[in-house]
Amino acid sequence: MQQATTHRPLTIGELSERSGVSASALHFYERNGLIEADRTAGNQRRYRRETLRRVAFIKTSQRVGLPLKDIREALDSLPDGRTPTKRDWARLSQRWREELDQRIAALQHLRNDLDGCIGCGCLSLKSCTLQNPSDELGASGAGAQRWTLPE
């Protein structure tokens, strides 16, 4: 008896087509421990269906600027051997809530102050609220201190 189509593992081409991610990117994710594949007797990759959700999570996480290292650590917290539940995904997303809120606040600050910053060049200006609030770099000398100070 043949397995139902909805439960059949996906080939790399099927996963690529369904997820919108290139096969080379999927190979990269696999090499970096973000997803895993089973192998056929002919050594062809086969992906479990829940890999689609993991790939969607990876893409979304990258879109908001999270590094692959953090994404891998988050995915490592999901259970092995079963499809993650809604509760598993909620627990995972809770880990990033504070960091994402901080990023959102920083982006809103950037958006609100960007008009005044264009053309500034990040010089030591008292009016630069983004790169030099309260003229903190003024004591370091004139010019583009952010570019000339040692790391």
Distance CA 64, CA 68 (A): 12
pLDDT at 62: 92
- CB within 8 Å of 55: residues ≥ 6 apart: 15, 19, 21, 26, 29, 35
User: Which residues of the chain are modeled with pLDDT < 50?
Assistant: 1-4, 124, 147-151
pTM score? 0.67
| Yes or no: domain 5-118 corresponds to CATH 1.10.1660.10 | yes
pLDDT at 40: 92
- Hey, where are the domains in the chain? 5-118, 120-151
pLDDT at 29: 96
Distance CA 106, CA 110 (A): 6
Distance CA 26, CA 34 (A): 9
pLDDT at 115: 67
Per the rule left: phi > 0, alpha: psi between -120 and 50, beta: everything else, 35 is beta
